[in-house]
Amino acid sequence: MRESTGGTRERIKAVALELFTEQGYEKTSLREIAERLNVTKAALYYHFKSKDDIVASFVEDRLERMDELTAWAESQPATLATRRTLISRYADTMFAGDQPSVMRFFEQNQTVLKSLASGQQMRGRMMQLANALCRGDDSPTAQLRAVLSLFAVHSSWFAVRAPNITDAERRRIALEVADELLAAIGTEPDPSGTAAGSGHPQG
């Protein structure tokens, strides 16, 4: 029964995302979601009380993945290899399965996200990930490079506007730009003249 309930919940999320993408979040009702699923509105209410609840579930899935990534990074040495693996895994959370559709929805519905408590937590999680990326180098430059490397990955959904580009190409370009930023973390001398942090220069 637990598996069946979980499967129904995921099916509701998939269909809701479909409708949100097709006709917009504001124009989609719970009734339409229930109709496309061929279930009663009461059955839908068992899992989600509102459209905001459905969106919050997408955000919570994402927060969980980000927490897992941060925990993994903090258990690894503060090296360029760790940073590269972390940013690659971060990209995986956006390009696997239905995540491209979820990311496009997030990008097109920033106002909805900002109104949700879970959406407001996203910024904090992003900063935790950025801190993990520049661990070993606490310079302001490293902090900015770490944040920009994350933005390079998720802004690829709207910043890369080439026609007919595939998700795989979009991911490759995003990681290429992110790597340029990450490779410079820990390589600049600090005021005392020694290398900042424990990162390693590229090469």
The domain defined by 51-203 folds into Tetracycline Repressor; domain 2 (1.10.357)
Please report which confidence band the pLDDT of residue 6 belongs to, taking 50, 70 and 90 as the band edges: low
Collapsed DSSP state (helix, strand, coil) of residue 89: helix
pLDDT of residue 67: 95
**Where exactly does CATH 1.10.10.60 map onto the chain?**
1-49
**Where exactly does CATH 1.10.357 map onto the chain?**
51-203
What is the rounded distance in angstroms from the CA atom of residue 179 to the CA atom of residue 72? 19
- At the top level of CATH, which class does the domain 1-49 belong to? mainly alpha
pLDDT of residue 156: 84
More confidently predicted of 16 and 117:
16
pLDDT digits (tens, 9 = 90+) for 29-81: 999 999 999 988 898 999 999 998 998 888 888 899 999 999 999 999 999 99
Global pTM exceeds 0.85: no
C-beta of residue 179 within 8 angstroms of C-beta of residue 87: yes
